[in-house]
Amino acid sequence: MATGINTEIISYNHSSLIGIFNNALTLEITKKAFRIRGIYIAGKGVNYNGFYYDSLKDETSDACVTLIVPAPIRHDLTTEQTIECTGYLSKRVQLNAGRIDLHVNVVELLSQKESRYSEEQLKAFEILQKKAEQGYKDVDGFIKTRIIQRQPITITMLIGKTAIIDSDIKHQLKEAIGLYDFRFV
């Protein structure tokens, strides 16, 4: 019986998949200049035909984007300062890594001011960024695996001396309480 649905599987190679997504990323924003703001982080300081590859870190998260900065503008930038600039978006295909990198090409520096974050907060951002690079742990997957393998899951809860939440936690788990080994400290 014919279903009318084409079930033929199409085969692609690595380069064609990257090419398909590269062509799909042609958006209006790549054709216009826009403003962007963040914490400027100087790169390695290598001059590539008058341009430097630096980073712009989001002020509220560990997200970063590559900045392509012309040498005359870079001369005026100070690392760890909050900057606002005008730029346009470009992309670079990395066939050997299987990815498409987005870059902001800086056209004009609009403002630069001392970061509103303390050194301590910036270090915390760096730790978050390193954690993201190493990969976040899949806690849900870990718990599911331990349950399937019938291995107890030890959870240590730090609570105040007068806290009474231990019974609330145990009550919410109901029948699943037997899968966990709680330690309240």
- Residue 43 vs residue 60, higher pLDDT: 43
Beta pairing, strands 99-114 & 64-70 = parallel
> Apex CA 75: angle with CA 69 and CA 76, to 5°?
95
Residue 51 clears pLDDT 90, i.e. is over it: yes
Which 3 state secondary structure label does DSSP give 99? strand
Residue 160, exposed/middle/buried by CB under 10 A (0-12, 13-18, 19+)? exposed
pLDDT at 116: 64
pLDDT category at 86 given cuts 50, 70, 90 is very high
Domains assigned to the chain: 14-134 (2.40.50.140), 139-184 (no CATH)
The whole-angstrom separation of Cα 81 and Cα 77 is: 8
Of 3-7, 9-13, 132-136, the poorest mean pLDDT is in 3-7
The whole-angstrom separation of Cα 69 and Cα 74 is: 6
Q: What single string gives the DSSP state of each residue in 46-95?
A: --BTTEEEEEEE-SSSS-EEEEEEEHHHHTT--TTEEEEEEEEEEEEEET
100-142 per-position pLDDT tens digit? 788 899 999 998 887 666 677 777 777 877 777 777 677 778 8
- Residue 14 vs residue 76, higher pLDDT: 76
140-178 per-position pLDDT tens digit? 788 888 888 888 888 888 888 887 787 788 788 787 777
- Residue 129 vs residue 73, higher pLDDT: 73
pTM of the model as a whole: 0.51
Q: Which backbone phi and psi does 133 adopt, to 5 degrees?
A: -65, -35
Question: What single DSSP character describes residue 116?
Answer: S
Consecutive H or E run containing 139: helix 139-148
- Residue 87 vs residue 1, higher pLDDT: 87
Residues 6+ apart with CB under 8 A from 167: none
